[in-house]
C-alpha cells in the first residue's frame, strides 16, 4: 500500500531504471470481479502492476453520491492479494489535488452525449484524475473496462491528444450469471433492486437482436423503455444506439454500433453498453 506520491515515485523510478514495463489499473475501490479482471490482465502483460484506489470527488455530481460511495480498502487489498500486484496506490486528496490546484483536462465532443450530457463536469473530473494517475505512476499500459465505454473513449482521446505515452487497453465487461454488469454501485441496491437490475441487460440484448434483424430505434426504443419502467426502473436517462468510437447517434445497426443505457433503480444510477454490429466488435 503506497499512500504518497513521493513513495510511489521511489518505486517507479527504480522499476523504470531496470527497464520494467509498468501497468496501471485506475479504480475507485469497492473492488469486484470486473476490477480484478483488469488487474489480472495487467499482471499477465506488464512487469509491474499498480492498482490505484481513489474516490475522485471531481467526477461526482452530488455530495450524497460521493458520501455514499462504498469504501472498502482492507477488503480491496485482500481481494488483490492473490493476483500479486506490485503496489496499491491509495492517495489522499492532497496527493492528487494539492492546495492551489488549478488545472483541468477537458475532452470536448465525445463528452457532449450519453453520461456527459447528464453529468455535467463528470468527464472533466475523470480526464483530469486519469491524466494525473498516468503521470504519477509513469505507466506505459493502462487498463480500463468496456463497462464504461464512453470513459474508455474519452481516456483514449485524452492520451492521444496530450501525447501521453500510454497504451489504453479496454477489457470486457464482467457480468453476473443473470447478465447484470458488475458495478460498485450494485452494493447500494435493495434486495428487490437486485432482482430487478438484470432487466436492463435483458432489454438491451433484446433490442440488439431486433436491431440486428433490421429494426430501427424509432420502432424498438419506445417499447424497450416501457418494459424497463413497467419492470420497476424509475427513470431512463438514455437508451441510445451510437457509433462505437465517435459516439454519434445511429438509427440502425450499420458499421460498428453499440447500445448504451443509463437508468435509475432504487436511487442508484446503473449504466451498461453492448456491441450491436461491427466486424469483431468487442463485447
Q: Decide whether 87 or 210 has the Cβ nearer to ligand AMP.
A: 87
Q: Say if residues 79 and 36 touch (Cβ distance below 8 Å).
A: yes
**Which range, of 139-147, 210-218, 242-250, 273-281, touches ligand AMP by CB under 6 A?**
139-147
Q: Assess 116 for contact with ligand AMP (CB under 6 A).
A: no
For residue 7, give every residue at least 6 positions away whose Cβ sits within 8 Å of its Cβ, in sequence order, or none: none
145 touches ligand AMP by CB under 6 A: yes
Tell me if 78 sits within 8 A of 1, measured CB to CB.
no
The residues, any chain, with a CB within 8 Å of residue 54's CB and separated by 6 or more, are 26, 28, 29, 89, 90, 91, 96, 129, 133
**Residue closest to ligand AMP (Cβ):** 145
Give, to the nearest 10 degrees, the angle between helix 5-17 and helix 122-137.
50
Q: Report 34-53 residues binding ligand AMP (CB under 6 A).
A: 34-35, 37-38
Main-chain phi, psi angles of 113, to 5 degrees: -115, 180
The yes-or-no answer on residue 35 being catalytic is yes
| Alpha carbon distances (Å) from 259 to 126, 138, 243, 250, 256 | 22, 34, 9, 10, 11
Q: Least distance to ligand AMP from the beta carbon of 37, Å?
A: 6
Regarding 28 and contact with ligand AMP (CB under 6 A), the answer is: yes
User: Which residue of 173, 196, 257, 273 would you call a contact of ligand AMP, by CB under 6 A?
Assistant: 173
Number of residues that bind ligand AMP (CB under 6 A): 17
Interaction of residue 91 with ligand AMP, rule CB under 6 A? no
2 or 28, CB closer to ligand AMP?
28
Nearer to ligand AMP, 4 or 72 (CB): 72
Q: Which is nearer to ligand AMP, 173 or 257 (CB)?
A: 173
Residue 153 binds ligand AMP, judged by CB under 6 A: no
Using alpha carbons only, give the angle 172, 174, 176 rounded to the nearest 5 degrees.
Answer: 155
Q: Which three cell numbers stand for residue 20?
A: 520494467
Residue 141 binds to ligand AMP (criterion: CB under 6 A): no
CA–CA separation, 49 and 23 (whole Å):
5
By CB under 6 A, residue 184 contacts ligand AMP: yes
Whichever of 50 and 174 has its CB closer to ligand AMP, that residue is 174
**For residue 279, with 0-12 CB atoms within 10 Å meaning exposed, 13-18 middle and 19 or more buried, which class applies?**
exposed
Catalytic residues: 35
Amino acid at each position: 500500500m503506497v499512500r504518497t506520491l513521493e513513495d510511489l515515485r521511489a518505486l517507479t523510478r527504480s522499476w523504470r531504471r531496470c527497464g520494467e514495463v509498468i501497468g496501471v489499473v485506475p479504480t475507485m475501490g469497492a473492488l469486484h470481479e470486473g476490477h480484478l479482471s483488469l488487474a489480472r490482465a495487467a499482471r499477465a502483460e506488464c512487469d509491474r502492476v499498480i492498482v490505484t484506489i481513489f474516490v475522485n470527488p471531481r467526477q461526482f455530481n452530488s455530495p450524497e453520491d460521493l458520501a455514499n460511495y462504498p469504501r472498502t480498502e482492507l477488503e480491496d487489498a485482500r481481494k488483490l492479494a492473490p493476483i500479486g500486484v506490485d503496489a496499491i496506490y491509495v492517495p489522499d486528496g492532497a496527493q492528487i489535488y494539492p492546495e492551489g490546484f488549478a488545472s483541468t483536462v477537458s475532452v470536448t465532443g465525445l463528452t457532449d452525449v450519453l453520461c456527459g450530457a447528464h453529468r455535467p463536469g463528470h468527464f472533466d473530473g475523470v480526464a483530469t484524475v486519469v491524466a494525473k494517475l498516468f503521470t504519477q505512476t509513469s505507466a506505459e499500459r493502462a487498463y480500463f473496462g468496456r463497462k464504461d465505454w464512453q470513459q474508455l473513449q474519452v481516456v483514449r482521446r485524452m492520451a492521444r491528444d496530450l501525447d501521453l505515452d500510454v497504451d489504453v487497453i479496454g477489457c470486457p465487461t464482467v457480468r453476473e450469471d443473470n447478465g447484470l454488469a458488475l458495478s460498485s454501485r450494485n452494493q447500494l441496491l435493495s434486495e428487490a433492486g437486485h432482482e430487478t437490475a438484470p432487466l436492463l441487460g435483458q432489454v438491451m440484448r433484446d433490442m440488439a437482436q431486433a436491431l440486428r434483424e433490421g429494426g430501427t430505434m424509432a420502432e424498438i426504443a419506445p417499447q424497450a423503455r416501457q418494459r424497463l419502467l413497467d419492470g420497476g426502473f424509475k427513470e431512463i436517462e438514455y437508451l441510445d444506439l451510437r457509433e462505437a468510437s465517435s459516439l454519434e447517434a445511429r438509427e440502425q445497426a450499420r458499421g460498428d454500433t453499440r447500445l448504451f443505457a443509463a437508468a435509475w433503480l432504487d436511487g442508484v444510477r446503473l449504466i451498461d453498453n453492448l456491441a450491436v454490429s461491427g466486424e469483431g466488435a468487442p463485447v
